[in-house]
């Protein structure tokens, strides 16, 4: 059985699905690993590093045609998709909501597609949870980058010349990225506030030293799978009033709120931005799904009334080595669950919740 992976378009995606440290794990299951030339050279990981671990380096086309399972980050381009054949397996972050037509075409050819962002939030799937591993890094990096653009000191400083007040940070969305953002901002000396539609987040926020902003009469907007669901109009209005008042004293906002399969909720309205202090920064991690702020533009810094609004298409391109290391381990754990070691073949067991939920139908 052959596991393969080809280079992504590094202009938009610098992460890779296989790092040298997982090659031996694949080989221990009996797989041969094939990669395209210069697979991760942009990360300073060269072909000889992979070959030293037992991988084979071939042409792009050879890897696609040979692979029983092709492991990627994003949905491949049409050139690769057209080369896939019956009973091959494609695994990645395929975004079936956005790429529905393409995926319908390839699944109709009996190509088995698995999209890892659809993993159920169950204990057995934690080691495969790419959303958590990648969001952790994104939350950290968003804080570091926003602090770099903020033109004041972050912690409180007492000097002979006077006292510098600590920066006030608001984290919108207290999922994995938001919680990491809270922890990072606290470690750097900021005063941190957070808001989330899921009431279960309150305890987590407070355990990290943040202050949880609660909408009066809030309902718990959490799905059985642990994800946020869309808020009612009444909740949105109350949240807007609370945020507008809070933002008058906030220096940095980290936006992380996402609803799986839908456009990101618009939480930070223009009239809220207008009341923020000049010099404030909004860092919007939801930019690629429309953004949590009215003024977010992908890969641009928008400035209005002295407030900078930043939106990254893929913030993990700024931490591609760390992100690849975690992603490749998540991917191996998924393959390990999909593979029947005794029969030396993939077992697409639809009674397994992990397989059933991630398979694109």
286-338 per-position pLDDT tens digit: 998 899 999 999 999 999 999 999 998 899 999 999 999 999 999 999 999 99
List strands edge to edge, sheet with 32-36.
Answer: 56-58, 32-36, 2-5, 69-74, 89-93, 112-115
pLDDT tier for residue 240 given thresholds of 50, 70 and 90 = confident
**341 with 280, same domain?**
no
- The pLDDT of residue 54 is above 70: yes
Q: Per-residue pLDDT averaged across 268-297, rounded?
A: 94
- The pLDDT of residue 361 is above 90: no
**57 with 93, same domain?**
yes
**113 with 39, same domain?**
yes
**24 with 83, same domain?**
yes
Q: Per-residue pLDDT averaged across 40-50, rounded?
A: 97
**352 with 283, same domain?**
no
pLDDT of residue 227: 58
**103 with 184, same domain?**
no
pLDDT tier for residue 226 given thresholds of 50, 70 and 90 = low
Percent of the chain with pLDDT over 70: 95
Per-residue pLDDT tens digits for 165-192: 999 999 999 999 999 999 999 999 999 9
**271 with 354, same domain?**
no
**150 with 282, same domain?**
yes
Inside any domain, residue 126? no
Inside any domain, residue 150? yes
**6 with 51, same domain?**
yes
Inside any domain, residue 124? no
**41 with 84, same domain?**
yes
> How far is residue 343's CA from residue 306's CA, in Å, rounded to a whole number?
63
What residues are annotated to the active site? 121, 126, 129, 132, 227
Range of the domain at 277: 135-317
295: CATH: 3.40.50.720
> How far is residue 116's CA from residue 135's CA, in Å, rounded to a whole number?
14
Inside any domain, residue 130? no
Inside any domain, residue 129? no
Print the SS3 string covering 258-269.
CCCCCCCCCCEC
pLDDT of residue 288: 87
- The pLDDT of residue 82 is above 80: yes
Which among 335, 341, 355, 311 has a CA at the least distance from the CA of 69?
Answer: 335
pLDDT tier for residue 219 given thresholds of 50, 70 and 90 = low
Count structural domains, the chain.
Answer: 2
**200 with 104, same domain?**
no
Q: Per-residue pLDDT averaged across 221-228, rounded?
A: 58
């Amino acid at each position: 059985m052959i596991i393969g992976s080809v280079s992504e378009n590094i202009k938009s995606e610098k992460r890779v699905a296989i790092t040298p440290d997982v090659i031996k794990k694949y080989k221990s299951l009996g797989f041969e690993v094939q990669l395209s030339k210069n697979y991760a050279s942009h990360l300073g990981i060269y072909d000889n590093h992979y070959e030293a671990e037992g991988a084979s380096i071939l042409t792009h086309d050879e890897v696609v045609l040979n692979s029983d399972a092709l492991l990627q980050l994003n949905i491949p381009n049409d050139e690769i998709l057209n080369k896939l054949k019956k009973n091959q397996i494609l695994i990645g972050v395929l975004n079936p909501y956005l790429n529905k037509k393409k995926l319908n075409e390839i699944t109709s050819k009996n190509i088995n597609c698995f999209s890892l962002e659809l993993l159920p939030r169950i204990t057995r799937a934690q080691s495969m949870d790419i959303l958590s591993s990648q969001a952790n890094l994104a939350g950290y990096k968003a804080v570091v980058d926003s602090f770099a653009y903020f033109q004041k000191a972050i912690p409180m400083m007492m000097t002979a010349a006077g006292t510098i007040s600590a920066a006030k940070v608001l984290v919108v969305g207290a999922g994995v990225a938001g919680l990491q953002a809270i922890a990072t901002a606290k470690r750097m000396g900021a005063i941190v506030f957070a808001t989330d539609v899921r009431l279960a987040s309150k305890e987590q926020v407070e355990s990290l030293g943040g202050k949880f902003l609660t909408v009066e009469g809030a309902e718990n907007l959490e799905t059985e799978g642990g994800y946020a669901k869309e808020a009612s109009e009444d909740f949105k209005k109350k949240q807007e009033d609370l945020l507008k008042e809070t933002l008058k004293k906030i220096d940095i906002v980290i936006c992380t709120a996402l609803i799986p399969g839908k456009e990101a909720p618009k939480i930070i309205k223009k009239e809220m931005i207008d009341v923020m202090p000049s010099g404030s920064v909004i860092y919007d991690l939801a930019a690629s799904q429309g953004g949590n702020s009215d003024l977010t533009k992908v890969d641009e810094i928008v400035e209005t009334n002295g407030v900078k609004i930043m939106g990254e298409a893929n913030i993990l391109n700024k931490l591609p080595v760390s992100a690849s290391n975690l992603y490749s381990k998540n991917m191996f754990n998924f393959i390990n669950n999909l593979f029947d070691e005794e029969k030396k073949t993939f077992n697409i067991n639809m009674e397994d919740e992990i397989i059933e939920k991630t398979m694109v139908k």
